[in-house]
Chain A
Amino acid sequence: MAKRSTVLKVAGLSKSFGPVVIVENFNLEVREGEAIALTGRNGAGKSTVLRCIIGADQPNEGTVEVSGIRMSETNPDIRRDVATVIDDLDFFPDLSVVEHLDLLARAHGIADAEAAVDEVLHEVQLVPQSGQLPGTLSSGQRRRLALATAFIRPRKLLVLDEPEQRLDVEGVQWLAARLAAERNRGLAIVMASHDPLLVQSVATRIVRIGADAPATEVAG
């Protein structure tokens, strides 16, 4: 069996805000078909690690590489490979739900954009809201749209910050099944989550991040 290639490599990552050290010497290597769940208490630094991984924040020390390329948020190759759902996602106020997905699909060069959009819209159960502007969506629907933006486009690495937030029970079950399927297809996933169901069904490894202890890995 061929060795799966490394998609994400984090080495010696440290991040502090002023005198407060959030993460220190964090290391992680994620291969194709692996799903890493970052767990820990509120404020443990999960989101900070994810923000550094996707380049939204610059670490004080350490390096992040995606498919061998040094992380730069603005690098088009990295943008092509990394799909993210974190809190800073914004929407065009004047484009409808379906138009957001259509725009993303076309920007990523998907040949049959309309079919792909229809499929994802059905999956996230936003068909009735397809013509709605994002400002009128409920918080749960906005989260579904954010997830849809990650699933509509090609990707090698999926980074999710508490993707279960605001989803109903059925929604979390669907998400767990979808992420497990993505992982089985060879996608690398890194997510922060507080949901035991999601962590157990998706993660191949669990990394526990604590405020007063270094990150520890638990086999998933």
Chain B
Amino acid sequence: MSKKSRKLIRSTPAAPTVRADGPSNPDSIPVPAQTFWFLPEAEPLAVNERDLHDTMKQWRHGRATRSIWDAIQNAYVAIFSVLMIGAMITNLVLKAQSTMAGCSELACQSARTLVPWATWFALLGLALGISRLFGPVLVSAAEGFWLMDAPIQRSRLLSGRLRMAVISFGLGAAVLGGLTATLSGSSGLEIGLWTLADGLGAAAVTAFAAAEQTRERSKLTRALQTVLATLALATLILTVAVASGWMTLSLPVGSSTVVPAAAASIGLILLILELLAARRRLGLIRRARLVSGGSLVAGMQGAMYALDFGLIRDIVVERAAVERGFVKPTAGRGVGLQALLWRDLQRLGRFPRPLVPLAASVVAPYALDALGLTTINPFVSGLILVVVLVPFLSMLRVLSRTGGLARMFPFRTSQVRTAAMVVPLFLALVWQAATIPAFIGITSAGAERSALDGTAIALVTGIAGWLGAVRWVTAKKVDFNTPMVATESGAVPPALIFNLFRGIDMVALITAPVMLGGSPLYSFALAGVAFVLLRGTFNSDELKAQQEQLNREKEAAKKASGQKIQVQRPRR
């Protein structure tokens, strides 16, 4: 226990003692000893929220077993590695910036002009989406239970949370925006202005989401998010179109600095206005709304400790389903495995939203080709396809995360899994068909390939993305009962490290032959092996049971053949 905690405990007034020896005045009527007390009749003292907050902070400090310095000392290897990798990345970024800045091709010029715009729209949309998902103002379950019902001014406690959310989103967006502007070869002034524009814009939309949260509204936030996502996509398509030479873009001189400066100014004004609006009504947010965001964060934190990204997604999906609550039931079709397949198809009609990012991701291979990144195009596009295909594999996810549901279907695990993989495969094939021109090479920057080669590489990318998504949703969670690996951060199960690369490994494996200049046939062969493994063909329990069944049948057959066959002699 820390000194602070001991001090706090000592400073707490002692509990009232019970007088069980009866009244001091013998003439008065004897009163039984009191074992409970009502609240004092006197008005309670006003609570200072800041003091309360400080007390909570002290309690937390009291529970800490290590200081920050201790933690840094223990994690020095990790910190050193981060610094080394950070320096390497910075060096790479600076090199890329100087290369892009010196590039005078159409592709580079369009990227320099339009990519920061697309990033601005995308970052604002992302900040708005995440803010809406979590609150953005939230409290933990414990704070919600113990503090929010107390006679305190909630707004005073919550204002810190609002500030933290706005600053976090602002800083995050500023870093990402600045990085994108740097990589696209913008000048120093432009990079600075775009960094400001992205940071202030993201902070402003977070404050806007908080203001909407105080009014218990989400329609406007959703609408704005859709608009921003559409604009980001449209700008990205425009970038590809200009880089491919399909159209020309002539912007007035100075627009590359005026536009981000204007965006930053508007962002600042909106930030101030929305912060004031949110701050004024902060105390009106319902406890349930505050706690739900906190619970979501707590659940995700738990999943993050095990690096179980699948579980994080499950939590978000479950929450979205609870928010929706009710659906109009539709009758199923088919029997046996067909029923599973039809349900997966019907799900597409019911939840068509994931089709939008899937359609949008078709632009990615074209954009990469326009940027001249022909070699790594299959790998990067495959990874993007993994991300957009995962929502279509929700049936497979549920069937593979626990055995309970799969056990109810009268099929082999491999059959159930294959049925749940069909619809996403069909979508991946449609995606690859739409991206064939990008792999053939239609822009001026990318390398040219024959139609056959381009089609084969598009197919490899589509299959790699599909199998990567399957691997991502079916990967087993970390088993902490297995032997651990000793690291500087303590004992770690090996699966925890591999969890970081699930999905990525499949894409890298399948696209490696084509990226190294080999024949796509090698990729197809690897994909075939991966498919056989991922569909659960080699389930050890299943194989053991099959073997035992075979043995029993053999034994039975042996017994049967051992019995003498009685043949009736022919009568004469």
List the interface of chain A (C-beta within 8 A of B). Answer: 54-56, 58, 69-77, 79-80, 83-84, 86, 88-96, 98-99, 102-104, 106-110, 113-114, 130-136, 149, 153
Q: Which range contains the number of B residues in contact with the other chain? A: 35 or more
> Does A136 contact B326, Cβ atoms closer than 8 Å?
yes
Contacts known (A90-B405, A109-B336, A133-B326); A70 close to B545, Cβ less than 8 A: yes
Question: B387-413 vs A: 1/0 string, CB under 8 Å?
Answer: 000000011001001111101111111
For B545, what are the chain A residues with a Cβ–Cβ distance below 8 Å?
69-72, 74-75
> Does A108 contact B410, Cβ atoms closer than 8 Å?
yes
Number of A-B contacts (CB under 8 A): 140
Return the contact of B403 from the options A56, A83, A131 (Cβ within 8 A).
A56
- In the assembly, what is the distance between CA of A56 and CA of B335, in Å? 26
> Does B321 contact A133, Cβ atoms closer than 8 Å?
yes
For B324, what are the chain A residues with a Cβ–Cβ distance below 8 Å?
133
> Does B412 contact A76, Cβ atoms closer than 8 Å?
yes
> Does B332 contact A99, Cβ atoms closer than 8 Å?
yes
For B395, what are the chain A residues with a Cβ–Cβ distance below 8 Å?
92
- In the assembly, what is the distance between CA of A110 and CA of B324, in Å? 30
Q: Which one of A76, A110, A132 has the greatest number of beta carbons of chain B within 10 Å?
A: A76
> Does B337 contact A107, Cβ atoms closer than 8 Å?
yes
Q: B529 within 8 Å of A by Cβ? A: no
For A130, what are the chain B residues with a Cβ–Cβ distance below 8 Å?
329
Nearest B residue to A132 by beta-carbon distance?
A: B326
Question: B309-330 vs A: 1/0 string, CB under 8 Å?
Answer: 0000000011001101111111
- In the assembly, what is the distance between CA of A74 and CA of B399, in Å? 12
Question: B54-87 vs A: 1/0 string, CB under 8 Å?
Answer: 0000000000000000000000000000000000
- Stretch from B9-17, B98-106, B343-351 at the A interface: B343-351
Q: Shortest beta-carbon distance, B508 to chain A, in Å?
A: 30
Q: B157 within 8 Å of A by Cβ? A: no
> Does A89 contact B405, Cβ atoms closer than 8 Å?
yes
> Does B347 contact A114, Cβ atoms closer than 8 Å?
no
- In the assembly, what is the distance between CA of A80 and CA of B415, in Å? 14
20 A-B pairs whose Cβ atoms sit less than 8 Å apart in the complex: A56-B407, A58-B541, A70-B549, A70-B552, A75-B545, A79-B410, A88-B404, A90-B404, A92-B394, A96-B326, A102-B329, A103-B340, A103-B343, A106-B339, A113-B335, A131-B327, A131-B329, A132-B325, A135-B318, A136-B326
Q: B542 within 8 Å of A by Cβ? A: yes
> Does A73 contact B407, Cβ atoms closer than 8 Å?
yes
For A91, what are the chain B residues with a Cβ–Cβ distance below 8 Å?
398, 405
> Does B351 contact A94, Cβ atoms closer than 8 Å?
yes
Contacts known (A72-B541, A88-B402, A132-B326); A93 close to B321, Cβ less than 8 A: yes
Return the contact of A76 from the options B333, B340, B410 (Cβ within 8 A).
B410
State the 10 A-B residue pairs at the shortest beta-carbon distance, nearest first. A72-B545, A106-B339, A80-B410, A88-B404, A93-B321, A135-B322, A89-B404, A74-B542, A102-B332, A90-B405
Q: Which one of B330, B332, B333 has the greatest number of beta carbons of chain A within 10 Å?
A: B332
User: Given contacts A104-B409, A106-B339, could you give 9 more A-B pairs where the C-beta distance is less than 8 Å?
Assistant: A94-B347, A103-B343, A106-B338, A107-B411, A131-B326, A131-B329, A132-B325, A135-B321, A136-B326
For B347, what are the chain A residues with a Cβ–Cβ distance below 8 Å?
94-95
> Does A84 contact B411, Cβ atoms closer than 8 Å?
no
- In the assembly, what is the distance between CA of A149 and CA of B403, in Å? 15
Question: B502-524 vs A: 1/0 string, CB under 8 Å?
Answer: 00000000000000000000000
- In the assembly, what is the distance between CA of A135 and CA of B315, in Å? 11
Contacts known (A54-B407, A80-B410); A90 close to B541, Cβ less than 8 A: no
